[in-house]
Amino acid sequence: MQRAGASPSGKATDFDSVMRRFESSRPNQRRRRHGRLFLVLLALLLPAAAPLPGIGPTDGRRPVDPETPPWTALARLQVPGAARCTAVLIAPRTALTAAHCLFSPHLHRFVPPDMVHVLTRYGREAFAAHAVAAGYRIAPAEDVAAVTLSAPVGSAVLALAALPAPGTPAMLGGYNQDRIEVIEADTACHIAAVTATLIRHDCAGTRGTSGAPLLVRGGDGAWAIAGIATRAIIGGRGGIAVAAAALPAWLAQGGAMP
């Protein structure tokens, strides 16, 4: 009978030393195994990343060509160190965007106009034209701004639409936070509800689409601006836009109407 801790020759063995030699012969395997275990535990312990607002469980966005109407009227609006949003041209030197895109959390105020950059037909670091703002006006009680550019940036513009009815087919495209180098659009969505100044829609779009035009077909069949996107729904698909039908009188006061 072989005693525990003894070899077949009868010589005593140190079990711990044997195991140490065995393990030290495979250091890389141990490190890889421990590394994998650590990653698994880390994945289990860390909370899942919060979903982006406005997208919902089914992402209806797809890339669209900035050289194809109506997307030719869109522009990327950039405020260095503060914001990256979307804007839409209503005249060669006038763009509409969300007013909160012009506010700097670091400066605790709205930025000076020369910090606001507008790039038309932007896609993957290429663009058709660039201009800085010469000034801007913020609509009273609404999250919309009209930006006057220092130079014309093109003739591709969109008209304002009348207030659409619930159920109207719509589109929403812009420079989404998670895909900032291209215009991504939901081209198969609808108007959900309306008031005199606000529109609720079910179009997929998240941060970065602030200032983008909510598009519907006008009376002539052409795409027109039903609203300016300002908020995305948290935990679901869709968002809120300021109704374009509420803006003409205010725009006319500043000479911004085309």
State mean pLDDT over 166-191.
96
Mean pLDDT of 176-199: 95
- Go through 227-252 and write b for each residue having 16 or more CB atoms within 10 A of its CB, e for each that does not: bbbbbbbeeebbbbbbbbbbbeebbe
Confirm if 242 and 213 have CB atoms less than 8 A apart.
no
Query: Under CATH, what is the fold of the domain 62-253?
Result: Thrombin, subunit H (2.40.10)
**Whole-prediction pTM:** 0.80
Residue 32: predicted pLDDT: 53
**Domain edges within the chain:** 62-253
pLDDT beyond 70 at 84: yes
Taking only the tens place, the pLDDT of each residue in 91-116 is 999 999 999 999 999 889 999 999 99
pLDDT digits (tens, 9 = 90+) for 127-165: 999 999 999 999 998 999 999 999 999 899 999 999 999
Separation CA 170–CA 70 (nearest Å): 12
Give the best-scoring range by mean pLDDT among 15-29, 46-60, 136-150: 136-150
Percentage of the residues of the chain whose pLDDT score is greater than 70: 79
Dihedral Cα 240, 214, 208, 81, nearest 10 deg: -100
Which of 193, 207, 196 shows the shortest CA–CA distance to 84?
207
- Cis peptide leading into residue 70 (ω within 30°): yes
Beta carbons within 8 Å of 132's beta carbon, 6+ residues apart: 113, 114, 115, 116, 117, 118, 149, 150
Question: What amino acid occupies position 202?
Answer: D
pLDDT of residue 7: 37
